[in-house]
């Protein structure tokens, strides 16, 4: 899409001056062509007057690197168990490979990008996740996730300074505790924490699914807009289930913290980000409190 065409879309004025946190990840970001297209659209949003902030994951790339080293990825209850060796791989892949690649794509498409991790301006202060009781294969066990953390505080100063100067901040989900230990953070959670701290206008999660559907096997049943009350009802009825439940609950927490809308869209669809934010119907699921 050309900039002149985007400027004529119905919700173009709504993004002017708005902070939009975009979580990029999934298999669309592994495909070089799809990754380039997504970043080009983010640069276009900046040219339209929006202030995008990127939070990226890198799970598939981390898994591939671990396997090349002869080490099997280890997940418990959806979280990556992160020992010393795995932490080094996480840091190398996220901040050494994925982050600079995104920054380079921003520059290639005419924007200004800056890579950040938790120690940049004390951006992400985190704490190590405590031992946790979880069920594995039906048995309850006490799990130590290793160097995995939760965000304790987001220092927004450096992000706001960069946005004011026309840059697109690119944040790796790597935090540091108050003793200086590096911690692996969940990218979806970090995106929500950053959006909440910035009081962002929108949080957009680019995933591998189209959004919330009444029937996951039928794309025509996509729900384009849901309120908090409707989400609770769909969870009670079992329509929102499994891995979508924590994503929805996290989204509601972000909305309660002051973000106007949260969007769940399929990053594999060309121009999904622009179609969701700039057209009346959108292309995924938009969540609001009311």
Kindly tell me if the per-residue pLDDT of 29 is higher than 70: yes
Domains of the chain: 3-288 (3.40.1160.10)
pLDDT for 6 equals 67
- pLDDT of residue 7 exceeding 70, the answer is no
Query: Among 127-136, 141-150, 218-227, where is mean pLDDT lowest?
Result: 127-136
DSSP reduced 3-state for 214 = coil
Quick check: 5 pLDDT over 90? no
Instruction: Kindly report whether the global pTM for this prediction surpasses the value 0.85.
Output: yes
Report strand pairing: 202-207 vs 261-266: parallel
Find the mean pLDDT for residues 112-116.
98
Mean pLDDT of 22-39: 88
Question: Do the beta carbons of residue 265 and residue 277 sit within 8 Å?
Answer: no
C-alpha–C-alpha distance, residues 56 and 126, integer Å: 17
């Amino acid at each position: 899409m050309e900039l002149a065409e985007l400027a004529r879309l119905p919700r173009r004025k709504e993004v002017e001056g708005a902070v939009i946190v975009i979580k990029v990840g999934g298999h669309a970001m592994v495909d070089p062509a799809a990754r380039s297209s997504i970043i080009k659209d983010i640069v276009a949003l900046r040219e339209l007057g929006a202030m995008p902030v990127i939070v990226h994951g890198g799970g598939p790339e981390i898994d591939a690197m671990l396997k090349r080293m002869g080490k099997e990825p280890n997940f418990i209850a959806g979280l990556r168990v992160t020992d010393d060796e795995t932490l080094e791989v996480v840091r190398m892949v996220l901040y050494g490979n994925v982050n600079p690649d995104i920054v380079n794509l921003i520059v290639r498409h005419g924007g200004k990008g800056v890579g950040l991790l938790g120690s940049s301006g004390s951006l992400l202060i985190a704490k190590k996740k405590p031992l946790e009781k979880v069920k594995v294969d039906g048995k309850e066990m006490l799990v130590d996730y290793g160097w995995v953390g939760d965000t304790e505080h987001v220092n927004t100063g450096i992000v706001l300074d960069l946005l004011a100067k026309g840059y697109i901040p690119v944040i790796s989900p790597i935090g540091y505790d108050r003793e200086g230990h590096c911690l692996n953070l969940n990218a979806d959670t970090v995106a929500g924490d950053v959006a909440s701290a910035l009081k962002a206008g929108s949080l957009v999660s680019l995933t591998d699914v189209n959004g919330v559907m009444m029937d996951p096997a039928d794309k025509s049943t996509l729900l384009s807009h849901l309120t908090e009350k409707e989400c609770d009802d769909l969870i009670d009825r079992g329509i929102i289930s499994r891995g979508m439940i924590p994503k929805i609950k996290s989204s509601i927490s972000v909305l309660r913290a002051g973000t106007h809308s949260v969007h769940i869209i399929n990053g594999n669809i060309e121009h999904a980000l622009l179609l969701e934010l700039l057209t009346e119907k959108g292309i995924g699921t938009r969540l609001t409190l009311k």
